[in-house]
Amino acid sequence: MAPSLTPAELTLLGLLVEKTRHGYELDEVITARGMREWTEIGFSSIYYLLGRLRDRGLITEVAAPGTGRAKARKVFGPTAQGRRVCAAEAEAALAELRPVFPPVLVGLASQPVVPPDRVRAALAQRATALEERVAAVRRAARAQAGAPAHVRAIFDHSLHQLTAEQQWLSDYRAALDEGDT
């Protein structure tokens, strides 16, 4: 049975299956692809996660071309087991619906204790944040226009989720204004 990976571990393993990389390069790809919007991988956790994957036999240090520096960066690549585990875990992640715990639902559940004007202000703030996020994801997607289809699909999925929330928010705010809630 394949070991269960955290989303952060699977993300890094997938990037290494795609191409051998060192930690700084992983960070650059995560940043360029806007992955920090949907992963909990900070720069400081990359080497920790690489160590965990290495200790589980899923990645290994691979020979890196000479960099001309006294100390070359460690480059990691997947093991055969790492490729198998990555494929199985990615397939499961695509197939299974897993619960998410959006704080907005907690806020909605407790909304009756918030004065109506404060609810409207909070929702207006959320609408502005959504607009900014959509714009940021669109910029990142344009910057990755030549990326492989699976990378473009990540941006597309994110944009669909964000625009669906924008529509819901618009409808809900209109219902509040009409007194339907």
pLDDT in tens, the chain (181 residues): 445 999 999 999 999 999 999 999 999 999 988 888 888 898 989 999 999 999 999 999 997 665 555 456 799 999 999 999 999 999 999 999 988 889 999 999 999 999 999 999 999 999 999 999 999 999 999 998 899 999 999 999 999 999 999 999 999 999 999 986 6
Residues 6+ apart with CB under 8 A from 29: 15, 21, 35
pLDDT at residue number 2: 46
pLDDT at residue number 39: 86
Q: In this structure, is residue 1 part of a structural domain?
A: no
Q: Which domain holds residue 126?
A: 103-178
Residue that is written with structure tokens 């909070």 in the block: 122
Secondary structure letter of residue 110 according to DSSP: T
Q: In this structure, is residue 150 part of a structural domain?
A: yes
pLDDT at residue number 34: 85
Residues 143, 117 share a domain: yes
In three-state secondary structure terms, 26 is helix
Amino acid letter at 170? S
Structure tokens given for 22: 């060192």
Q: In this structure, is residue 2 part of a structural domain?
A: no
CA distance 173 to 53: 45
Q: In this structure, is residue 153 part of a structural domain?
A: yes
| DSSP bridge partners of 62 | 75
Residues 60, 12 share a domain: yes
Q: In this structure, is residue 140 part of a structural domain?
A: yes
Residues 119, 63 share a domain: no
Residues 131, 90 share a domain: no
User: Among 95, 113, 129, where does a domain finish?
Assistant: 95
User: Among 95, 114, 140, where does a domain finish?
Assistant: 95
Residues 16, 81 share a domain: yes
CB contact at 8 A, 155 and 123: no
Residues 138, 76 share a domain: no
Residues 114, 53 share a domain: no
Total of domains in the chain: 2
Residues 110, 91 share a domain: no
Residues 139, 76 share a domain: no
Residues 110, 89 share a domain: no
Q: In this structure, is residue 26 part of a structural domain?
A: yes
